[in-house]
């Protein structure tokens, strides 16, 4: 009977590419860890870098750590969807990390700097871009200083870069506040964004159809 098929096919959410970005030190890694702890059916992209690991960073979990020579060889082999030089080191998104997960129907989550997010906007116009912000400049600057990984000159460069990056927030779809001691709220906001995107009547185009060659 026609009545039995009345609502068939009306709810078919497409896999999303969720891009989490923001200035250096805004807490992108912490937000990703919070999402991972929820055990959701998400694929978390591991990006690659030519810088050495920081204390407590695990290769293959936090980043793929390559030498500069190995990274540049992989660039030549077209192994990255996008790559860029950030603070004197290469960063890039391995192509297989995104393409394979999207084909499987999973939502894909990755964190990149603002430069990377802008490149992904061009390559994947259907992607969901989320810009993280701190509660205040003082809070953000204290986070950077507490890492104890940057020289005064490097901190000055990050501040200068942040001024440029914030001006690009209009290119993003959502802004999420990642305030001190409120990480769970930021993670919950991102989950709500994903749910909203899946419940839209007019879904973003299937990303598998838009994957660049």
At 145 the pLDDT is 64
At 202 the pLDDT is 76
At 35 the pLDDT is 96
CA atoms within 13 A on the CB side of 121: 17
Which of 54, 73, 103, 145 is catalytic? The answer is 54
At 210 the pLDDT is 44
Contact 80, 74 (CB under 8 A): yes
At 147 the pLDDT is 65
Phi first, then psi, for residue 59 (nearest 5°) are: -60, 135
- Would you kindly state where each structural domain of the chain is located, as residue ranges? 15-201
Which of 68, 103, 145, 147 is catalytic? The answer is 147
Q: What is the largest CA-CA distance in the chain?
A: 72
Is 54 marked active-site?
yes
Residues with pLDDT less than 50, the chain? 206-213
Which of 51, 74, 111, 158 is catalytic? The answer is 158
At 36 the pLDDT is 93
Is 111 marked active-site?
no
Tokens standing for residue 181: 């001691």
Q: Of 82, 81, 88, 47, which Cα lies nearest the Cα of 66?
A: 47
Residue with tokens 């990050």: 158
CA distance 79 to 73: 9
**Which residues contact residue 152 at a Cβ distance below 8 angstroms, ignoring those fewer than 6 apart?**
none
- Class level of CATH domain 15-201: alpha beta
Contact 112, 165 (CB under 8 A): no
The reply to whether the predicted model has a pTM over 0.85 is no
At 1 the pLDDT is 53
Is 103 marked active-site?
no
**Paired sense of beta strands 48-49 and 42-44, if any:** unpaired
At 208 the pLDDT is 44
Contact 169, 21 (CB under 8 A): no
pLDDT, tens digit (0-9, with 9 covering 90-100), for 107-121: 999 988 898 899 899
């Amino acid at each position: 009977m026609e009545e039995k098929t009345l609502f068939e096919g009306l709810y078919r959410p497409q896999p999303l590419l969720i891009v989490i970005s923001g200035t250096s030190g805004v807490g992108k890694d912490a937000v990703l860890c919070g999402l991972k702890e929820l055990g959701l059916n998400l694929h978390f992209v591991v990006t690659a870098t030519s810088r050495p690991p920081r204390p407590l960073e695990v290769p293959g979990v936090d980043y793929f750590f390559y030498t500069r020579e190995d990274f540049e060889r992989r660039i030549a082999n077209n192994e990255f969807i996008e790559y860029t030089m950030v603070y004197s080191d290469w960063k890039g998104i391995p192509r297989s990390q995104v393409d394979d997960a999207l084909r499987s129907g999973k939502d894909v989550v990755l964190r990149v700097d603002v430069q990377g997010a802008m490149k992904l906007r061009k390559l994947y116009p259907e992607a969901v871009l989320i810009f993280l912000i701190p509660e205040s400049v003082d809070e953000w600057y204290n986070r950077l200083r507490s890492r104890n990984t940057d020289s005064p000159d490097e901190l000055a460069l990050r501040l200068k870069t942040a001024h440029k990056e914030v001006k690009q927030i209009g290119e993003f779809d959502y802004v999420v506040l990642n305030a001190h001691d409120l990480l769970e709220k930021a993670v919950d906001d991102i989950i709500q964004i994903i749910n909203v995107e899946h419940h839209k009547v007019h879904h973003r185009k299937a990303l598998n159809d838009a994957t660049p060659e």
